Amino acid sequence: MNKIKLKIISLIKKINYFNYNYNILNKSIISDNEYDFLYNKLEILSKKYPNLIKNYYINNINNNLHLTSNSHKHILKMISIKSTYSIKKIYKFEENIIKKNNIKIKEYCCELKLDGIAINIIYKNNNLYKILTRGNGEYGEDITKNKFFIKNIPDKIVFLNYKSPSLVEIRGELCISNYNFDFINKIIKEKYNKIFVNKRHAVSGIIRNKIKNKIYYKLLNFIAHGIGYCFFLNKSLNKFKKHNNLLNYINKLGFETVERKICKTIKESIKYINFIEDNYKFNKYKYLIDGVILKINSIKLQNILGNSSKYPNWSIAYKFNSTYKETILTDVTFNITKNGNFIPIGKIKSINISGINIKKIFLHNIKKIKSLDLMIGDYILIYLSGNLIPTIKNVIKDKRNNEIKNIFYPKNCLSCNYKLSLYKDILKCNNFFCKSKIKYKISHFFSKKCIYIKYLNKKNICELIDDNFVKNIIDIFKLDLNILNKYIKNNKKVNSIYKTINGKVNINIKNFLYALNIENIGEKTLSIICNNIKKYEELFTLNNIYIKDLNKNQLKNINIFFSKIKNINFIKEITQKYINIIF
Ligand SMILES: [Zn+2]
């Protein structure tokens, strides 16, 4: 428990530090992906251990807030929208709403997710009163005096067909167009020998008036995507019926509104996401975007679903994986796993994404390769899935040339030449005596976390198997000095190994069970099992044991392993002659 506590505290500290830099100092010191990754981690832990979070989360955030003297309170809190990098979670979003609320969703308003600075514009009696950054959601920085940098924020708004509200908040994103971004960088490069590293920095730098020069007049655009507080309208907001109608109305008030599409179903919304993402890769948009936001279009439904403390329950953002890099697939090889599965691995011309150097890419199975229509020599787009795993987005077919080759799928096992079979789209060697499987099994048994024999390494074991001196685990204990000397060219090492295998090796029960390589049983589960057996004889009751902390599958695997006579005989033989288990 202490470990988890420390982990949570460390995560909160990190997130607070990044929040402080981002919200207050306006520095983004890590990528969005990295931030989201940390945040999701914290969220998972906070669900699992709500008591631990309760004590730390709030305190830390409050302690860490340093507001500038220039801050001002939002009338309605500016909450952010829950985001995901996974299409599956978009489906899940709808599924959960339908399941929990027993309602039908007829329409989504899908909006481009603009990557700028979120702001809130307050109008009092029709006149512009304050422009605030999001800040921490409750308080934002007052940037009203710099409004001349921003296009399309009217000083006065006139409500058509409605009685004007005395107080209203218009919300949206402050952005810079590609054209203006290049323009300003050119100027400040010449004048100050500086550039803004990205668009968000540019927006922030300009609005904070970091470079004291009014030539940047109206370089920024405000793009509205909703309403915050609205005295009077809140009561009659239902009159608009749809979020999209509301945006159209905001448009009529004189604001630019976000590019959007109404989609009838979640499937249609995802089609739209894919369309936008494809275009996004080629920089086809006027502003920088980093995803698509789905909002349930019905305002009535939005009100029924309401907000949680952090997010609105009626909206979700799909974020693009920010970095796609192009490279070439140079080869496909196969790794043989301990079970004899042949896993395809793509070799690529090395690239660097977010500081990670990538040379190989995991291709999962044959179906995956076929769905990508992948060939050796293809140009491919790579991204880090979940910010961790290098993944192929797609093949750039326009770039295919005459040098492409088909991927070669082996017909026979590369180790034993046994004919491979296809199981669940994976090539598999079913030969029980396949040397690659035996190599895995034996070298695992004698690896560091198992029965470790000093100086006897994996390479030695594999060579001994190749030359048929070793066919099973017990054979290792029968090796004589002549053979050992043939493979290990060091007298001291040979003597040490020989001495170890000819005495009884003392081994902890957990290491022994780990060495047995029971299907799907990891170290954590083994610790639980070890707490439940106290002496040697109890090993032979594991075929019937019930441990309440283990799940059905784990219990089944343990029970099956210890029901097999072959395994029991092996344990008896090895413990009688070669190994001494310590409980
Ligand atoms: Zn084989």
Dist. CA 342 → ligand 1 center (Å): 10
- Check which CATH number belongs to the domain holding 17 and give it: 1.10.287
Q: Is residue 302 a part of any domain in this protein?
A: yes
Kindly provide the ipTM of the predicted complex, given to two decimals. 0.99
Catalytic residue of the set 27, 73, 113, 556: 113
Which of 492, 509, 511 minimizes the C-alpha distance to 454?
A: 492
Identify the domain boundary among 36, 66, 96.
66
Q: Which of 263, 286, 319 is the last residue of a domain?
A: 319
Judge if 419 and 441 occupy the same domain. Answer: no
Q: Is residue 78 part of a domain?
A: no
Task: Divide the 583 residues of the chain into consecutive groups of 10 and give the mean pLDDT of each group.
Answer: 76 69 56 69 74 47 43 87 90 92 92 92 91 86 86 86 80 91 83 73 77 69 90 62 91 92 96 89 77 93 85 92 83 86 92 76 89 94 73 88 91 91 88 87 90 91 92 94 92 93 91 88 86 89 86 89 92 93 89
Q: Residue 128's domain is classified under what CATH number? A: 3.30.470.30
Domain that holds residue 41: 2-66
pLDDT, residue 398, reads 85
How far is the centre of ligand 1, averaged over its atoms, from the C-alpha of 480 (Å)?
A: 28
pLDDT given at position 51: 67
pLDDT value at position 31?
64
Q: Distance between CA 202 and CA 208 in Å, rounded? A: 10
Q: Is the residue at 73 inside a domain? A: no
Structural domain count of the chain: 4
- Do both 105 and 62 map to the same domain? no
Q: Residues 6 or more apart from 389 whose CB is under 8 A from it?
A: 362
**Same-domain status, 133 and 51:** no
Are 421 and 489 part of one and the same domain? no
Distance in Å, CA 367 to ligand 1 centroid? 22
**Is residue 307 domain-shared with residue 388, that is, in the same domain?**
no
Asked if the structure places residue 71 within a domain, the reply is no
Q: Are residues 358 and 482 in the same domain?
A: no
- Measuring CA to CA, which residue among 310, 290, 276, 225 is closest to residue 32? 290
- Specify if 74 maps to a domain: no
Alpha carbon of 473 to ligand 1 centroid (Å): 18
Task: Indicate if 136 and 283 belong to the same structural domain.
Answer: yes
| Residue 82 annotated among the catalytic residues of the structure | no
Measured in Å, residue 335 CA sits from the centre of ligand 1 at 12
Domain final residue pick, 431, 455, 472: 431
User: Which one, of 45, 116, 38, lies nearest residue 386 by Cα?
Assistant: 38
Q: Is residue 119 part of a domain?
A: yes
In a domain, 77, yes or no: no
Give pLDDT, residue 194. Answer: 72
Same domain assignment for residues 250 and 120: yes
Q: What pairing do the DSSP bridges indicate for beta strands 167-176 and 117-124?
A: antiparallel
